[in-house]
Amino acid sequence: MKTGFLEQIGKAIIPETFRAGLRVYYSKAGIREVPYKLYGILLYVALIFIGIIYFYSNFYGTINHLSPLLVGLLVFLFWAIGGLFISLIIIGALYFYLNLKIFNRVKEMDINLADYLVLVSTNLKGGLSFEKALWSAIKPEFGVLSEEMGLVSKKVMTGSELSEALKEFSEKYDSPSIRRTIDLILGQVESGGEIASVLDETIETLRKTKVLKEEMAANTLMFTIFIGAIVTVISPLLFALALNLLEILIGVSATVAPALSSSSSTPFSMNEIEINSEDFKIFSVMALTLISIFASLILSIIQKGDIKSGIKYVPLFVFVALTLYFLFLGIFGGLLSFT
């Protein structure tokens, strides 16, 4: 099959020693082939960005008075370092996306694992062999777990041992529940014990763990409401109030300070406030954004026990906090205009 130009560029920039590991990493995210064409596109995107920065900053105009050799060296370093920096940002964003996708796949498999094992146990009690019980339990509603078990069945059909295929599946993802379950199953298979009873105990343990997590989340509901209220309502309110008070003080100092400085009878003097209200507004937006990001991650740790579950709430927290901030600014500005 003929490969495109962008795909060839993508393969050229990725060393061959990293391709096998990259293929495994993409498979964890549900992507069976490495998108080399995407890497070729991202290379051109990085070059376009560094080109825009180069011409917009007029970098050559600031160094053209130097010797030609030094100019060439500085231009090369600018493109090399700038391209490397932009490439690292793009790769970091791509890694973040893939890591989040892998996390969501593992989470979905953990949720469906108990229901899948119920069907496997039922099939075993119905007289099916262990392999057929595993394959017969594959249902579309199990999503990613069905997809992965389908890959395990294909490996077994092409000559791999069942124990090796299951072990490879358990080691593929960072899921303690899947690893413990597979280890228990393989231990029973090797010892010749009754697998159905082990599955029933495992199912009961998984369900108890799920109930315990839900109870823990319910017990921390008040902390969640408290932190959410502080981040989305109280912090924007206080920053908006502080900005309006700052503008009042700036206006008062601009009026009073000249009068006090021109009068010789007053025992004290007053200088004008040199703080810019626009700078404080920018600071407020940045502070609220950071507070919202870290608050969503903290709430994820409290509720779910992991930090990655809170990433999807970051845009919502930031949007609500900034929206209320500018809303409060408008309300305070309207109230002060009537006084």
pLDDT band at 290 (very low <50, low <70, confident <90, very high): very high
pLDDT of residue 250: 74
Segment 195-217 mean pLDDT: 81
Residue with tokens 């999807």: 312
Longest dimension (CA), the chain: 105
- Range in 66-75, 222-231, 248-257, 312-321 with the lowest mean pLDDT: 248-257
The CA R_g of the chain, rounded to the nearest whole Å, is 30
Signed CA dihedral, 133, 135, 140, 146: sign only: positive
Segment 274-292 mean pLDDT: 86
Residue 217 has pLDDT above 80, yes or no: no
Segment 202-212 mean pLDDT: 84
pLDDT band at 200 (very low <50, low <70, confident <90, very high): confident
CA distances from 43 to 10, 37, 311 (A): 8, 10, 27
Residue 152 has pLDDT above 70, yes or no: yes
Are 140 and 146 in contact, with CB atoms under 8 Å apart? yes
Q: Residues of the chain with pLDDT > 90: what percent? A: 5
Residue with tokens 């072990």: 167
CA distances from 163 to 10, 144, 184, 185 (A): 36, 20, 12, 9
pLDDT of residue 263: 53
pLDDT band at 29 (very low <50, low <70, confident <90, very high): confident
Residue 254 has pLDDT above 80, yes or no: no
Q: Return the half-sphere exposure (C-beta side, CA atoms, 13 A cut-off) of residue 160.
A: 14
Residue 154 has pLDDT above 60, yes or no: yes
pLDDT of residue 1: 42
pLDDT of residue 265: 52
Map residue 175 onto helix, strand or coil.
coil
CB 317: neighbour CB atoms within 10 A?
23
**pTM exceeds 0.75 for this model:** no
